[in-house]
Chains A and B, each alone.
Chain A
Protein backbone atom coordinates (compact mmCIF):
# COMPACT_ATOMS: atom_id res chain seq x y z
CA UNK A 1 0.00 0.00 0.00
CA UNK A 2 1.47 3.36 -0.96
CA UNK A 3 1.40 6.38 1.30
CA UNK A 4 -1.50 8.04 -0.50
CA UNK A 5 -3.70 4.97 -0.04
CA UNK A 6 -2.86 4.73 3.64
CA UNK A 7 -3.60 8.45 4.11
CA UNK A 8 -6.99 7.93 2.48
CA UNK A 9 -7.63 4.94 4.73
CA UNK A 10 -6.66 6.92 7.83
CA UNK A 11 -9.04 9.73 6.87
CA UNK A 12 -11.79 7.18 6.25
CA UNK A 13 -11.24 5.71 9.73
CA UNK A 14 -11.14 9.19 11.29
CA UNK A 15 -14.48 9.90 9.62
CA UNK A 16 -15.92 6.62 10.88
CA UNK A 17 -14.86 7.48 14.42
CA UNK A 18 -16.86 10.73 14.25
CA UNK A 19 -20.02 8.69 13.64
CA UNK A 20 -19.54 6.48 16.73
CA UNK A 21 -21.56 8.60 19.24
CA UNK A 22 -24.52 8.33 16.88
CA UNK A 23 -24.56 4.56 16.47
CA UNK A 24 -26.89 3.71 19.36
CA UNK A 25 -29.41 6.54 18.80
CA UNK A 26 -29.47 5.83 15.04
CA UNK A 27 -30.00 2.13 15.63
CA UNK A 28 -32.82 2.97 18.02
CA UNK A 29 -34.48 5.27 15.50
CA UNK A 30 -34.14 2.64 12.81
CA UNK A 31 -35.93 0.31 15.21
CA UNK A 32 -38.63 2.91 15.82
CA UNK A 33 -39.14 3.30 12.05
CA UNK A 34 -39.57 -0.46 11.74
CA UNK A 35 -42.06 -0.37 14.59
CA UNK A 36 -43.92 2.59 13.06
CA UNK A 37 -44.12 0.83 9.69
CA UNK A 38 -45.64 -2.22 11.42
CA UNK A 39 -48.15 -0.03 13.29
CA UNK A 40 -49.29 1.76 10.13
CA UNK A 41 -49.74 -1.52 8.29
CA UNK A 42 -46.95 -0.79 5.82
CA UNK A 43 -45.58 -3.86 4.03
CA UNK A 44 -42.53 -5.09 6.00
CA UNK A 45 -40.41 -5.82 2.94
CA UNK A 46 -41.29 -2.42 1.47
CA UNK A 47 -40.33 -0.72 4.75
CA UNK A 48 -36.90 -2.37 4.76
CA UNK A 49 -36.35 -1.51 1.09
CA UNK A 50 -37.40 2.07 1.86
CA UNK A 51 -34.71 2.39 4.53
CA UNK A 52 -32.15 0.98 2.12
CA UNK A 53 -32.93 3.07 -0.98
CA UNK A 54 -34.68 6.19 0.37
CA UNK A 55 -32.26 6.52 3.31
CA UNK A 56 -33.83 9.59 4.87
CA UNK A 57 -35.37 9.10 8.31
CA UNK A 58 -37.32 12.34 8.40
CA UNK A 59 -38.80 11.75 4.95
CA UNK A 60 -39.72 8.14 5.74
CA UNK A 61 -41.55 9.06 8.95
CA UNK A 62 -43.24 12.02 7.23
CA UNK A 63 -44.45 9.87 4.33
CA UNK A 64 -45.88 7.12 6.53
CA UNK A 65 -47.38 9.73 8.86
CA UNK A 66 -49.18 11.44 5.98
CA UNK A 67 -50.42 8.11 4.57
CA UNK A 68 -51.53 6.83 7.97
CA UNK A 69 -53.51 10.04 8.42
CA UNK A 70 -55.25 9.26 5.14
CA UNK A 71 -53.67 12.14 3.20
CA UNK A 72 -52.90 10.17 0.05
CA UNK A 73 -49.75 9.62 -1.99
CA UNK A 74 -49.50 13.14 -3.46
CA UNK A 75 -49.63 14.75 -0.01
CA UNK A 76 -47.09 12.22 1.27
CA UNK A 77 -44.66 13.06 -1.54
CA UNK A 78 -45.17 16.80 -0.85
CA UNK A 79 -44.31 16.23 2.81
CA UNK A 80 -41.18 14.36 1.72
CA UNK A 81 -40.10 17.18 -0.60
CA UNK A 82 -40.69 19.75 2.16
CA UNK A 83 -38.66 17.76 4.71
CA UNK A 84 -35.88 17.12 2.20
CA UNK A 85 -35.74 20.60 0.68
CA UNK A 86 -32.77 21.35 2.95
CA UNK A 87 -30.73 18.99 0.76
CA UNK A 88 -30.77 21.64 -2.00
CA UNK A 89 -28.63 24.02 0.06
CA UNK A 90 -26.55 21.15 1.47
CA UNK A 91 -25.95 19.75 -2.03
CA UNK A 92 -24.71 23.16 -3.21
CA UNK A 93 -21.75 23.02 -0.81
CA UNK A 94 -21.20 19.27 -1.12
CA UNK A 95 -21.16 18.92 -4.92
CA UNK A 96 -17.63 20.27 -5.60
CA UNK A 97 -16.08 17.78 -3.17
CA UNK A 98 -17.68 14.58 -4.46
CA UNK A 99 -15.30 12.38 -6.46
CA UNK A 100 -15.67 9.96 -9.36
CA UNK A 101 -17.71 9.96 -12.57
CA UNK A 102 -21.07 11.67 -12.91
CA UNK A 103 -22.91 8.43 -12.07
CA UNK A 104 -20.66 7.67 -9.11
CA UNK A 105 -21.32 11.17 -7.76
CA UNK A 106 -25.08 10.78 -8.20
CA UNK A 107 -24.90 7.45 -6.35
CA UNK A 108 -22.69 8.85 -3.58
CA UNK A 109 -25.10 11.77 -3.35
CA UNK A 110 -27.73 9.34 -2.07
CA UNK A 111 -25.62 9.08 1.11
CA UNK A 112 -26.43 12.74 1.77
CA UNK A 113 -28.19 13.02 5.14
CA UNK A 114 -27.81 15.57 7.95
CA UNK A 115 -25.02 13.64 9.68
CA UNK A 116 -22.92 12.92 6.58
CA UNK A 117 -23.09 16.57 5.55
CA UNK A 118 -22.37 17.95 9.01
CA UNK A 119 -19.59 15.55 9.98
CA UNK A 120 -17.74 15.86 6.66
CA UNK A 121 -17.89 19.66 6.69
CA UNK A 122 -14.65 21.48 7.30
CA UNK A 123 -14.21 24.87 8.87
CA UNK A 124 -13.55 26.41 5.45
CA UNK A 125 -16.88 25.16 4.12
CA UNK A 126 -15.45 22.35 1.99
CA UNK A 127 -16.26 18.69 2.63
CA UNK A 128 -13.95 15.76 3.36
CA UNK A 129 -14.86 13.08 0.81
CA UNK A 130 -13.56 10.22 3.01
CA UNK A 131 -15.54 11.46 6.03
CA UNK A 132 -18.67 11.74 3.91
CA UNK A 133 -18.27 8.17 2.62
CA UNK A 134 -17.33 6.68 6.01
CA UNK A 135 -20.19 8.27 7.94
CA UNK A 136 -22.59 7.53 5.07
CA UNK A 137 -21.78 3.83 4.78
CA UNK A 138 -21.89 3.28 8.55
CA UNK A 139 -25.12 5.18 8.97
CA UNK A 140 -26.71 3.37 6.02
CA UNK A 141 -25.86 -0.03 7.54
CA UNK A 142 -27.08 0.98 11.01
CA UNK A 143 -30.31 2.50 9.63
CA UNK A 144 -31.13 -0.63 7.61
CA UNK A 145 -30.19 -2.93 10.51
CA UNK A 146 -32.32 -0.91 12.95
CA UNK A 147 -35.29 -1.01 10.59
CA UNK A 148 -34.94 -4.78 10.24
CA UNK A 149 -34.73 -5.25 14.03
CA UNK A 150 -37.75 -2.99 14.50
CA UNK A 151 -39.78 -4.97 11.98
CA UNK A 152 -38.79 -8.30 13.58
CA UNK A 153 -38.76 -7.55 17.30
CA UNK A 154 -40.78 -4.35 17.68
CA UNK A 155 -42.89 -5.50 20.59
CA UNK A 156 -39.91 -6.71 22.63
CA UNK A 157 -37.81 -3.52 22.46
CA UNK A 158 -38.20 -0.30 24.48
CA UNK A 159 -39.30 2.80 22.54
CA UNK A 160 -36.36 5.21 21.92
CA UNK A 161 -38.33 7.97 23.66
CA UNK A 162 -38.48 5.94 26.91
CA UNK A 163 -34.68 6.02 26.94
CA UNK A 164 -34.55 9.72 26.04
CA UNK A 165 -32.64 8.90 22.85
CA UNK A 166 -34.48 11.59 20.89
CA UNK A 167 -32.82 14.21 23.07
CA UNK A 168 -29.44 12.45 22.80
CA UNK A 169 -29.61 13.23 19.09
CA UNK A 170 -30.73 16.80 19.83
CA UNK A 171 -27.74 17.13 22.20
CA UNK A 172 -25.46 15.88 19.42
CA UNK A 173 -26.78 18.54 17.02
CA UNK A 174 -26.57 21.16 19.77
CA UNK A 175 -22.92 20.32 20.50
CA UNK A 176 -22.11 20.43 16.78
CA UNK A 177 -23.81 23.82 16.51
CA UNK A 178 -22.05 25.31 19.57
CA UNK A 179 -18.66 24.22 18.17
CA UNK A 180 -19.38 26.21 15.01
CA UNK A 181 -20.52 29.51 16.51
CA UNK A 182 -17.13 31.14 16.03
CA UNK A 183 -18.24 34.41 14.47
CA UNK A 184 -21.06 36.93 14.73
CA UNK A 185 -22.70 35.96 11.46
CA UNK A 186 -22.98 32.31 12.47
CA UNK A 187 -24.42 33.21 15.86
CA UNK A 188 -26.95 35.52 14.21
CA UNK A 189 -27.88 32.81 11.69
CA UNK A 190 -28.39 30.25 14.48
CA UNK A 191 -30.46 32.54 16.70
CA UNK A 192 -32.59 33.76 13.80
CA UNK A 193 -33.23 30.24 12.54
CA UNK A 194 -34.07 28.96 16.05
CA UNK A 195 -36.61 31.76 16.56
CA UNK A 196 -38.12 31.16 13.11
CA UNK A 197 -38.39 27.43 13.87
CA UNK A 198 -40.26 28.23 17.10
CA UNK A 199 -42.66 30.52 15.21
CA UNK A 200 -43.28 27.81 12.58
CA UNK A 201 -43.97 24.99 15.07
CA UNK A 202 -47.75 25.67 15.21
CA UNK A 203 -47.95 24.81 11.50
CA UNK A 204 -46.94 21.24 12.25
CA UNK A 205 -44.56 20.98 9.28
CA UNK A 206 -41.01 20.48 10.61
CA UNK A 207 -39.64 20.60 7.06
CA UNK A 208 -40.73 24.24 6.75
CA UNK A 209 -38.26 25.42 9.42
CA UNK A 210 -35.44 23.54 7.67
CA UNK A 211 -36.39 24.93 4.25
CA UNK A 212 -36.49 28.50 5.57
CA UNK A 213 -33.50 28.17 7.94
CA UNK A 214 -31.20 30.22 5.65
CA UNK A 215 -33.73 33.10 5.47
CA UNK A 216 -32.87 34.92 8.76
CA UNK A 217 -29.18 34.72 7.79
CA UNK A 218 -29.98 36.20 4.36
CA UNK A 219 -31.76 39.10 6.03
CA UNK A 220 -28.98 39.55 8.61
CA UNK A 221 -26.25 39.57 5.96
CA UNK A 222 -28.11 42.14 3.88
CA UNK A 223 -28.28 44.60 6.79
CA UNK A 224 -25.86 47.40 5.95
CA UNK A 225 -24.86 48.79 9.33
CA UNK A 226 -23.75 46.08 11.71
CA UNK A 227 -20.18 44.92 12.08
CA UNK A 228 -19.29 41.80 10.16
CA UNK A 229 -15.61 41.61 10.82
CA UNK A 230 -14.78 38.12 9.63
CA UNK A 231 -16.99 38.02 6.61
CA UNK A 232 -15.47 40.76 4.48
CA UNK A 233 -13.74 38.19 2.27
CA UNK A 234 -16.98 36.83 0.82
CA UNK A 235 -18.19 40.25 -0.26
CA UNK A 236 -16.24 40.05 -3.53
CA UNK A 237 -18.49 40.39 -6.57
CA UNK A 238 -19.13 36.80 -7.66
CA UNK A 239 -17.62 33.57 -6.46
CA UNK A 240 -17.80 30.35 -8.52
CA UNK A 241 -19.99 27.65 -7.00
CA UNK A 242 -17.10 25.20 -7.06
CA UNK A 243 -15.43 27.23 -4.35
CA UNK A 244 -18.21 29.06 -2.54
CA UNK A 245 -16.28 29.69 0.64
CA UNK A 246 -12.85 31.03 1.18
CA UNK A 247 -11.22 31.15 4.57
CA UNK A 248 -8.97 29.23 6.86
CA UNK A 249 -9.26 25.53 7.56
Chain B
Protein backbone atom coordinates (compact mmCIF):
# COMPACT_ATOMS: atom_id res chain seq x y z
CA UNK B 1 0.00 0.00 0.00
CA UNK B 2 1.48 3.30 -1.07
CA UNK B 3 0.52 6.31 1.03
CA UNK B 4 0.54 9.97 0.01
CA UNK B 5 -0.29 9.09 -3.60
CA UNK B 6 -0.99 12.72 -4.50
CA UNK B 7 2.31 13.92 -3.02
CA UNK B 8 4.09 11.24 -5.05
CA UNK B 9 2.41 12.47 -8.23
CA UNK B 10 3.56 16.05 -7.59
CA UNK B 11 7.15 15.03 -6.75
CA UNK B 12 7.49 12.63 -9.70
CA UNK B 13 5.93 15.13 -12.12
CA UNK B 14 8.26 17.94 -11.00
CA UNK B 15 11.33 15.68 -11.27
CA UNK B 16 10.25 14.55 -14.74
CA UNK B 17 9.46 18.09 -15.93
CA UNK B 18 12.92 19.28 -14.82
CA UNK B 19 14.54 16.40 -16.73
CA UNK B 20 12.45 17.00 -19.85
CA UNK B 21 13.32 20.70 -20.04
CA UNK B 22 16.89 20.50 -18.71
CA UNK B 23 18.35 20.54 -22.24
CA UNK B 24 16.46 23.72 -23.08
CA UNK B 25 18.69 25.92 -20.92
CA UNK B 26 21.49 25.38 -23.43
CA UNK B 27 19.34 26.54 -26.33
CA UNK B 28 21.47 29.53 -27.28
CA UNK B 29 24.71 28.47 -25.63
CA UNK B 30 27.81 27.14 -27.34
CA UNK B 31 28.42 23.55 -26.29
CA UNK B 32 31.82 21.90 -25.89
CA UNK B 33 33.04 20.04 -28.98
CA UNK B 34 32.81 16.49 -27.54
CA UNK B 35 29.08 17.02 -26.90
CA UNK B 36 28.31 18.48 -30.32
CA UNK B 37 30.09 15.50 -31.88
CA UNK B 38 28.15 12.93 -29.87
CA UNK B 39 24.69 14.41 -30.54
CA UNK B 40 24.43 13.06 -34.16
CA UNK B 41 24.99 9.48 -32.96
CA UNK B 42 22.79 9.83 -29.87
CA UNK B 43 19.65 8.22 -31.32
CA UNK B 44 21.19 4.85 -32.30
CA UNK B 45 23.05 4.72 -28.96
CA UNK B 46 19.86 5.29 -26.93
CA UNK B 47 17.87 2.87 -29.09
CA UNK B 48 20.49 0.13 -28.67
CA UNK B 49 20.38 0.53 -24.89
CA UNK B 50 16.56 0.44 -24.87
CA UNK B 51 16.47 -2.72 -27.00
CA UNK B 52 18.97 -4.45 -24.68
CA UNK B 53 17.05 -3.34 -21.58
CA UNK B 54 13.72 -4.57 -22.93
CA UNK B 55 15.14 -7.87 -24.20
CA UNK B 56 17.44 -8.97 -21.38
CA UNK B 57 16.49 -7.16 -18.17
CA UNK B 58 15.76 -9.54 -15.31
CA UNK B 59 15.33 -8.48 -11.72
CA UNK B 60 18.88 -7.23 -11.21
CA UNK B 61 20.49 -9.73 -13.59
CA UNK B 62 20.70 -10.66 -17.27
CA UNK B 63 17.73 -12.87 -18.16
CA UNK B 64 17.66 -15.21 -21.13
CA UNK B 65 14.02 -16.08 -21.77
CA UNK B 66 11.27 -16.04 -24.41
CA UNK B 67 12.18 -12.47 -25.33
CA UNK B 68 15.33 -13.69 -27.13
CA UNK B 69 13.08 -15.53 -29.58
CA UNK B 70 11.15 -12.34 -30.22
CA UNK B 71 14.40 -10.38 -30.71
CA UNK B 72 15.82 -12.94 -33.18
CA UNK B 73 12.56 -13.06 -35.14
CA UNK B 74 12.55 -9.24 -35.29
CA UNK B 75 16.15 -9.23 -36.58
CA UNK B 76 15.29 -11.85 -39.22
CA UNK B 77 12.18 -9.92 -40.29
CA UNK B 78 14.26 -6.73 -40.58
CA UNK B 79 16.90 -8.58 -42.64
CA UNK B 80 14.08 -9.66 -44.99
CA UNK B 81 13.02 -5.99 -45.21
CA UNK B 82 9.46 -6.75 -44.10
CA UNK B 83 7.17 -3.78 -43.26
CA UNK B 84 7.43 -2.31 -39.75
CA UNK B 85 4.02 -3.52 -38.57
CA UNK B 86 4.81 -7.07 -39.75
CA UNK B 87 8.16 -6.97 -37.93
CA UNK B 88 6.41 -5.89 -34.72
CA UNK B 89 3.62 -8.46 -35.07
CA UNK B 90 6.06 -11.31 -35.70
CA UNK B 91 8.22 -10.33 -32.72
CA UNK B 92 5.15 -10.18 -30.46
CA UNK B 93 3.79 -13.50 -31.77
CA UNK B 94 7.12 -15.31 -31.35
CA UNK B 95 7.51 -13.97 -27.80
CA UNK B 96 3.93 -14.82 -26.84
CA UNK B 97 4.23 -18.33 -28.31
CA UNK B 98 7.51 -19.04 -26.49
CA UNK B 99 6.07 -17.68 -23.23
CA UNK B 100 3.10 -20.01 -23.59
CA UNK B 101 5.39 -22.98 -24.27
CA UNK B 102 8.16 -22.42 -21.71
Residues of chain A touching chain B, judged by Cβ–Cβ distance below 8 Å, are 21, 25, 40-43, 46-47, 49-50, 53-56, 59-60, 63-64, 67-68, 73, 76-77, 80-81, 84-96, 98, 105-106, 109-110, 112, 114, 118, 121, 125, 161-178, 180-181, 185-194, 196-198, 201-204, 206, 209-210, 213-214, 216-218, 221-222, 231, 234-235, 237-242, 244-245, 247
Contact = CB atoms under 8 A, between A and B. Distances in A.
Given A21-B84, A89-B42, A176-B47, A46 B35 contact: no
Interface of B: 1-2, 4-9, 11-13, 15-17, 19-24, 26-62, 66-67, 70-71, 74-75, 77-78, 84-85, 87-97, 99
A123 B32 CA distance: 22
Given A197-B52, A242-B28, A42 B45 contact: no
B19 A88 contact: yes
A26 to B, nearest CB: 12
Query: Chain B contact residues: over half helix, strand or loop, or mixed?
Result: helix
B70 to A, nearest CB: 3
Contacts of A67: 2, 8
Give me the 9 closest cross-chain CB pairs, A-B, nearest first. A91-B23, A164-B95, A204-B60, A167-B70, A43-B5, A164-B96, A84-B19, A171-B91, A164-B92
Contacts of B91: 164, 167-168, 170-171
B12 A85 contact: no
Given A42-B2, A67-B2, A244-B36, 13 more contacts: A167-B54, A171-B71, A171-B87, A173-B51, A180-B47, A186-B40, A188-B41, A196-B49, A198-B56, A214-B42, A216-B45, A217-B45, A238-B30
Identify which of B1, B58, B84 gathers the most chain A CB atoms within 10 Å of its CB: B84
Nearest to B70: A167
B50 to A, nearest CB: 5
A197 B13 CA distance: 26
Contacts of A181: 44
Identify which of B47, B56, B96 gathers the most chain A CB atoms within 10 Å of its CB: B47
Given A84-B15, A173-B50, A197-B48, A92 B41 contact: no
Contacts of B4: 73
B31 A241 contact: yes
